Structure 1
Amino acid sequence: MAGSLAATAARGSVVMLTGQGMRILLQFLSVVTLARLLSPHDYGLIAIVAVLIGVGEIFRDFGLSSAAVRAPELSRAQSGNLFWINSAIGLLLAALLFGLAGPLAAFLDQEEVYGIARAMSVVFLLNGATTQYRALIVRGLRFRWLAGVDVLAAAFALAVALLSALLGWEYWALVAQQITQAFVVLIGVFLGVRHLPGLPRRGVPMASFLRFGGNLVLSQLVTYATSNVDTAVVGVVHGASPLGLYNRAYQLVVTPLSQIQSPITQVAVPILAKIQEDRPRFSAYIVRGQFALGYPISLGLATVAVAAEPFTVLLLGEQWTAAVPLLQLFALAGIARNLAYVGYWVYVVRGLSASLFRYSMVTGAIKVLCVVIGAQWGVVGVAIGFAIAPWIAWPISLAWLSRVTDVPTRSLYAGALRIIGVSGLSAGMAAVVVAALPPLPALAEIAIVCGVVLAMLGALLTVPAFRRDARVLKETVGLLRHRSAN
């Protein structure tokens, strides 16, 4: 059992990370190409509606996908009822957004928002029908199929967006991208399950799913609302064009981070759910997960922070250089957010959605306070508040979790501090080297920053603690290669 779970976890991680790597590549390709065909104003208009879509998506899921994945037993009748619940919520949200399109456009004084909101209400319908099909695929540990569907959907959506932009559709190209992606995902997950849900049935035990989902959706709603308070402040106070600038920097840093965390979570949650009663093994998996996420992502974000200007010029063009400080601040925020992420797995696996909701309320208040204070200094001030908040919340996260369940708190704190130390020292040395050099082409400067970071990593391997961490990472990578080869 232990070996098969390790093999499944390893294979699933390889498949999902490979698929997600392809999606991130498509995301970057989308940013690079569409940013040259569309204006910041176009992106700002979509970002306004996307905030509402994001809030609605939390209600549309209602935590029921996670409830289905973690459930020890899931009957066909229960799965069918969950499908109809999610579909009904999707229909309700689509009708609500369709009806609110006019008032929203009038409130924002952006008449284009009227058509955008009505068109994008279709996304709720498509995603509502997708939810439980996707959960069944994850529950069955069929990560290869899911990764293929996600990549194919992203590729189709990008192709539609590019064609539409070239035809002069402006912001409608981005609307077409969103709808296409949701439609292709629905078709893909349906083909992966290949059965229609039965009619809703009474007398089927559903209370545990709804109770878990209700608490989880509350915590997700708080997290989403507070995570997007910065976008709302920029959009309302500064308008669509500054919001488009802010959104592009966000898409380059924070969105890829979420895209890496999401597939790993889809692998981690069902695997951890099967071993949660084996406390030593569970703790070992959590610590290993922190290393696997923490070191590569933190080092990558530190590199982006140092080389923000050449990255911006290379990926977006000279007209987007005002986004450089935003890119740097988002990278710093991403390091702290990533270090706290393994705690989310524990909350979900152990069914602690009520505790997660209370924790989200506290950290959400911190985020809102930081952003509101930062807003006094404009768009960059908002980004500063966004960056400071997770560094305040991160040390709270593990302490809060340790109050409600057993977690290897000391190991997680110590590991995180080493990750921060390695990333900070590497980025600091790279910044010193870049500052001493004359202006260089973007690619050359990025190459130098990466080279200095790698050289610093080599030097830090002389420290025993870092050498032990490197050994754990090497073992993890070796396991992934071995299992993927098999």
Structure 2
Amino acid sequence: MTPSLGHSAARGAMMTLGAQAAKMVLQLLSVVILSRLLTPHDYGLIAIVLVIIGIGEIFRDFGLTSASVQAPELSDGQRDNLFWINVAIGVILAVLMFCSAWPVHLLMHEPDLIGIVQVLSVVLLINGVTTQYRAQLMRALRFHAMAVIDIVAAVLALGSAIVSALAGAGYWALVIQQIVNSLTLLVGAALAGRWLPRWYSRRHPVGHFMRFGWNMVASSLASYAGNQVDTVLVGARFGTTALGLYNRAYQLISSSFNQIRSPLSSVAIPVMSRVQADLRRFDSFVISGQLALGFGLGIPLALVAGLADPVVRIALGDQWLAATPLLRFFCGSSMMTSLAFVGYWVYVSRGLAHQLFRYSMVALVIRVACVVAGSFLGMTGVAAGVLAGPLLTWTLSWIWLSRITPIPVRALWLGGARVLILTCTITAVSWATSHRLDANPWLLLLAGSATGLVAGCLFLVLPVYRRDARSLVGFLRLMVTRQKAGPGPTEPRPTATSGAEDHDRR
């Protein structure tokens, strides 16, 4: 008897979340330790180079990971051809990035950037070789293997960076961290994949994969440009030291929580692709996904927003206190992004890459306008613009998507509203607690967290929140229990208030 797809999704989510929880701990250790060994200038230099790598990563993948995972059928020959295409793209991009070192130096007036850009260009080549190995692990739902690989890579990368920083390597410690991480991911994926690609053959056409991938590239570029406009703006207007401060706050929140949202796509997209023809089952995954992201990420984000001052003191040190207001804005931005992230899964799982690109361009214009307008108020204004963007586009995203494909619009709006009401309450209560007490940062963190969580638990007196809680608990049980043979597959069911069974489709 085939195992339940819902159980596979839940177990996969558990593996992925477990790995990402470990990576978030490592990320926090990286921030806490390396921020005390390196300077804001060091982080500012790496932040500039990572923008370049990020652009290269979009082209390096070329949307072929999503294309191969989403495809109903994929032959061995097509898989091999996609491997060589990703490798070729990685080689070209590595050369282009190496040559871009001098223009980047002239633009930013930082001679150290030349060596950093040239050395880190090898990351694009390494990741090009890794692409299809990772894609095939995702397609096979081998989430446990991917989780182990990710944790090992993060541990080795952080360890190498700490050792290098202690040895006085300065910003080169961050360069080494990036390279070790990419190499470990490649070795781990290749060993887990257990396949050697054959030579490229025209007998196995991949044109439709390339067309799908191109639309994904265009959408990703629009999204990435919107996500990086603040980094470029801060670096250009306020310098690398200010950028290092901004980047540390961003890494502490947005980057950390992105490490949960993005890898969860490796679970959600292949599962949703398999059930896309069954609207009832598909709706249940969409609704459960938003609730899981909203409550699962929203509650810790709400606590960090309310307790930003003690969090910065503990994680970064008193010399980074200027990052406190930035941290609060990034928490809000990450919250709104989490609520809308399920829409991305819908686009990809249903093969709506072209429509995703069109929406991404609209969202890009809104975000850039918000960030540029905020930049006239300094770095804090930029961070406020980062929050304003997803606040404006959250409602737009569901309206846009509902005109293209059937989705449970009413249920998603109501579910998101419930998440926002609860998380805003937690933020207000934890903030009020920390500002009424005069204690060391650790006591403020504990007291604020306790009162904030108690305030959140009080919402359980409302039936609608109890139903949400039961839905999430049921999903958690699927994660931690082994699948038993039965008469047929079962999926996570929407709550009575989710409206999945009787919602009005647009």
User: Where does the alignment leave 5 or more consecutive residues of structure 1 unmatched?
Assistant: none
Could you list the runs of 5+ residues in structure 2 that have no partner in the other structure?
A: 486-506
Aligned residues: 485
Tell me the alpha carbon deviations over residues 310-364 of structure 1, each in whole angstroms, 9 at most, x when there is no partner.
Answer: 0011011111111000101100111111100000000000000000000000011
Query: Paired residue for 2:101?
Result: 101
- Deviations along 1:279-331, one digit per CA (max 9) or x if unpaired, are 11110111011111111211111110110010011011111111000101100
Q: Which residue of 1 aligns with 2:446?
A: 447
Deviation at 1:243, TM superposition (A): 0.3
Q: Distance in 2 between matches of 1:35 and 1:53?
A: 22
Report the equivalent of 1:289: 289
Distance 1:88 1:236 in 2: 33
8 A Cα contact 1:11 1:484, kept in partner: no
Deviations 1:137-166 (A, max 9, x none): 111111111111111011111111011101
Map 1:81-480; keep pairs closer than 5 Å: 81-437=81-437, 439-480=438-479
Range with bigger deviation, 277-286 or 428-437: 428-437
The residue aligned with 2:30 is 30
| In structure 2, C-alpha distance between the alignment counterparts of 1:430 and 1:25, rounded to whole Å | 22
Opposite residue 180 of structure 1, the aligned amino acid is V
Would you say the 8 A contact 1:301–1:331 is kept in 2? Answer: yes
Q: What is the CA deviation profile of residues 385-422 of structure 1, one whole-angstrom value per residue up to 9, with x for unaligned ones?
A: 11111100111111110010000000000000000011
* d(CA) in 2 for partners of 1:2, 1:485: 10
AA aligned opposite 2:60: R
Distance (whole Å) between structure 1 residues aligned to residue 315 and residue 32 of structure 2 = 5
Instruction: Tell me the amino acid that sits aligned with residue 198 of structure 1.
Output: R
Distance apart, 1:203 and its partner CA: 3.1
Amino acid at match of 2:467: R
Moved over 4 A (4+): none
Change (3 A) 1:485 1:167: farther
Once the two structures are superposed, residues 31-62 of structure 1 have per-residue CA deviations (whole angstroms, 9 ceiling, x without a partner) of 11000000000000000110010011000000
In the aligned structure 2, how far is the partner of 1:127 from the partner of 1:152?
A: 16
CA positional deviation for 1:430: 2.3
Q: Is the 8 A contact 1:10 1:484 kept in 2?
A: no
Q: Is the 8 A contact 2:434 2:445 kept in 1?
A: no
The DSSP-based 3-state class of the residue aligned with 2:426 is helix
Q: Distance in 2 between matches of 1:435 and 1:444?
A: 12
Post-superposition shift, 1:484? 8.4
Kindly state the Cα deviation for residue 485 of structure 1 after the two structures are TM-superposed.
11
- The share of aligned pairs that are identical, in percent, is 46
What TM-score, normalized to structure 1?
0.98
* Distance in structure 1 (CA, Å) of the matches to 2:254 and 2:166: 27
Write the deviation string for residues 6-52 of structure 1: whole angstroms up to 9, x where unpaired: 22112111111111111111111111100000000000000011001
Greater share of residues in helix: 1
CA distance in structure 2 between the partners assigned to 1:2 and 1:464 by the alignment: 35
For residue 455 of structure 1, what is the amino acid of its counterpart? V
Partner SS for 1:168: coil
Q: Is the 1:37–1:165 Cα contact (8 Å) retained in structure 2?
A: yes
Which residue is 1:481 aligned to? 480
CA deviations 1:117-152 (Å, max 9, x no partner) are 000000011000000010011111111111111110
| 1:47-66 matched pairs, under 5 angstroms | 47-66=47-66
Amino acid at match of 2:223: T
